Structure formats: C-alpha cells, structure tokens
Amino acid sequence: SLKVNDLTILEVSANTLEKVGQDVIEGLTKTPKSLPAKYFYDQRGSEIFEAICQLPEYYPTRTEALILCQYAEEIAQITGTCELIELGSGSSTKTRLLLDAYQAQKKFCKYVPIDVSETILKESAIQLQKDYPALYIQELVGTYEQALAQFTPTIWPARMIFFLGSSLGNFNPSQCDYLLNQITGVLEPGDYFLLGIDLQKPQDILEAAYNDSQGVTAAFNLNMLSHLNWRFGANFDTHFFTHEAIYNQEKSQIEMYLTCQSSQIVHLENLDLTVTFKTGESMLTEISRKFDLELMEKDLELKGLKTIKIFTDPQNWFGLILCRK
Ligand code: AVI
C-alpha cells in the first residue's frame, strides 16, 4: 500500500486491465462478437456514466437514491458500526446517504470503496475524507473478483458489503453465482449484504432508459472503443459504429450493442490481433438484467444470505435487499 494525499491506497494489482486483454481477444474472436462491460469504465467512461445517472430517462439512480434517503437510517440502525465495503463505488454519491446515517447515529465506520476506475476512486475518496473526517477510508483499485480475494476477517464489529445501482445486472447468471459466492465467502455469520437491483417494468420505460434522447448512452457505449484504442493500441473508428439497446423479454435484460455500419478491419496492436467486421455486424457490449425480488431473495438464500428486509419505491421500480449471513 502507498500513501497519497493522506489516504491509504491499496493497489490490488498494478496495471490490472493491461494484463487481462485476454478477455478482449476471446470476445472479438467468437461469433457473435462481444466485449466485457468493464471496459466501459476508463476515466472518460466513468464520467459519461455519471452523466447517464442524471438523465431524465435513466430512472435507476434517482429511484435507488430515493429509497436510500428513506431507509438509510434504518439500515444503519440494523447493522450498527461496521466495515462498509462497496463494490463499484464510482463517485460514491449515493454512498453519502448511508454514511450520513451512520454519522448521525455516531456509528463510526470504515469505508472500503472498490472500483476499476482509479482516477474517480481516488478523487472521490479525497473528497469524502474532507466531508467525513472521522471516516477511515481505504480504496481498492481492481475488479470485484480481485478485490474480494484480498479480504481477511474484519476486526470491526461487523462487515457490510454493498452493491448498488443494479450493477449485478451486468453479469450473466453464472457470473452472478460466482460473484455472490465470493461475497458470501468474505462475510462471517452475522455480517450483512445490501444489494440494489433494478426490477422488471414495461419495455418502453426500460428501452428509453438505455436510448436517451441526448445520446449520452450512445457516447458511453462508443467510448468503449476509444478505451480499447488507447489501452490496446487499437484503431477502431468510432464513426463507423452505432449504439443500439433493446429489451430481451425472454431473458428480462437490456442488451446493448455496437453495430458496424460499413465493413472494417481493426487491428489491436498490443494484443497482436486483427479482427474483421461485416457491414451490419453487431457486437454485444453489455447486458443489464432486470430482476424479480422474490426470485432474488430465494437465490440469495441458496447462497447462505437470509433476507432481513426489502426496501422499494412506491412504483416498485427498484429494490434494495438487506440480508445477513
Ligand atoms: C452500471 N450499470 C448498472 C448500468 C446499467 O444500467 O446496467 C450501466 C449502464 N449502461 C447503460 N446505461 C447505464
């Protein structure tokens, strides 16, 4: 670990993403092509995602914030002083609602934000430290899998892992199983898990949220190619690709694609890879699953996580599940 601006920063692994280009190779060499959604989040991607969260069509962020606003106090009361581990903390904006509740109840906590995007993680931690001087913050740069593998039993009275924004929805069922098992493994009996999930709702509302009128989601999707360009020395021409997002009813998931509008040969120098795109060829860049609260409750129970309380908004658009191991 190293000291930067009085914050202890633990680098899970330096240049983590540079080493894992293998997943890009796998995704681009299979048919149909796909890319892992984690490549959205370079610095620019994280900034665009923050802008998505403010969009009128993108209801998840404000709906979850509303739920947290209403129930953070209750959550802090239930868990008491604890070590708070956040998966995919980004700007930690919604986290403040929880931190405020713990602070108001004089329950002093340790906060461990985890994110692949180092810049946003560090900047947010510096800002948080200013606003919550009594909070002990220790950021972890890395993927969830790498970061979760670092934890040993906590010396704090309890531990709560929280995973907000329905980011779990960006993983397919077998990846979800793996992640939930890993989360359970980091918790001791009596520890907590708080999960925010986006719920099923009419298709038009879902599709509008991923096809916003200002084109911010399109820019987010296309930025993945710019990210691959600088990270892997690739030469994707973003002008030839367009954003598409459709709701797959059968799988209850939004699917985001980048579609190639005219045939392309793309070279990714650092990966020693050349890929051909046909006109009209689509590449899956993200799934965003929309969940059913009862099914999720059962799934969590199978993983050894017992639901204590479910919090939702009046429209039942988004759900927060608090469970205990
Ligand atoms: C981070 N994740 C939960 C977002 C989602 O809604 O699946 C990412 C996103 N993709 C397009 N808009 C937002």
Instruction: For residue 136, report the distance from its CA to the centre of ligand 1, in Å.
Output: 29
Closest-CA residue, ligand 1 atom 5, reads 288
Residue 16 has pLDDT above 60, yes or no: no
Closest-CA residue, ligand 1 atom 1, reads 167
With a 6 Å cutoff on the Cβ, whether 45 touches ligand 1 is: no
Residue 15 has pLDDT above 50, yes or no: no
Which is it for the CA torsion 49, 269, 283, 242, positive or negative? positive
Q: What is the pLDDT of residues 245-270, one digit of tens each?
A: 999 999 999 999 999 999 999 999 99
Eight-state DSSP code of residue 116? S
More confident residue, 42 or 214: 214
With a 6 Å cutoff on the Cβ, whether 169 touches ligand 1 is: yes
Predicted pLDDT of residue 19: 57
With a 6 Å cutoff on the Cβ, whether 89 touches ligand 1 is: no
Give the pTM. Answer: 0.92
Instruction: For residue 37, report the distance from its CA to the centre of ligand 1, in Å.
Output: 9
At 108, the pLDDT band (50, 70, 90 cuts) reads confident
At 277, the pLDDT band (50, 70, 90 cuts) reads very high
Distance CA 171, CA 189 (A): 26
Instruction: For residue 252, report the distance from its CA to the centre of ligand 1, in Å.
Output: 15
Where are the alpha helices (H) located in the chain, listed in sequence order?
16-19, 22-29, 43-53, 59-79, 95-104, 118-131, 144-148, 173-186, 203-209, 216-232, 293-302
Most distant CA atoms of the chain, gap in Å: 60
With a 6 Å cutoff on the Cβ, whether 217 touches ligand 1 is: yes
Distance CA 268, CA 301 (A): 43
With a 6 Å cutoff on the Cβ, whether 91 touches ligand 1 is: no
With a 6 Å cutoff on the Cβ, whether 196 touches ligand 1 is: no
At 18, the pLDDT band (50, 70, 90 cuts) reads very low
Predicted pLDDT of residue 116: 85
Of all residues in the chain, the percent with pLDDT exceeding 90 is 89
Q: Which residues of 59-75 are buried (b: 16+ CB within 10 A; e: fewer)?
A: bbbbbbbbbbeebbbeb
Residue 233 has pLDDT above 90, yes or no: yes
Distance CA 133, CA 96 (A): 13
Distance CA 244, CA 183 (A): 32
Mean pLDDT score, 207-228: 98
ipTM of predicted assembly, 2 dp: 0.99
Helix (H, G, I), strand (E, B) or coil at 168: helix
Of all residues in the chain, the percent with pLDDT exceeding 70 is 94
At 17, the pLDDT band (50, 70, 90 cuts) reads very low
With a 6 Å cutoff on the Cβ, whether 286 touches ligand 1 is: yes
Q: How many CA atoms lie within 13 A of 162 on its CB side?
A: 29
Mean pLDDT score, 298-311: 98
Mean pLDDT score, 154-159: 94
With a 6 Å cutoff on the Cβ, whether 212 touches ligand 1 is: no
Predicted pLDDT of residue 117: 85
Residue 296 has pLDDT above 70, yes or no: yes
Helix 43-53 to helix 216-232 angle, to the nearest 10 degrees? 170
Strand (E) or helix (H) holding 7: strand 7-11
Strand (E) or helix (H) holding 245: strand 241-248
With a 6 Å cutoff on the Cβ, whether 166 touches ligand 1 is: yes
Residue 89 has pLDDT above 60, yes or no: yes
Residue 20 has pLDDT above 80, yes or no: no
Tell me if 244 sits within 8 A of 282, measured CB to CB. Answer: yes
Q: What is the pLDDT of residues 160-196, one digit of tens each?
A: 999 999 999 999 999 999 999 999 999 999 999 999 9
Distance CA 254, CA 224 (A): 17
Closest-CA residue, ligand 1 atom 3, reads 167
Q: Which amino acid is at 107?
A: K
At 237, the pLDDT band (50, 70, 90 cuts) reads very high
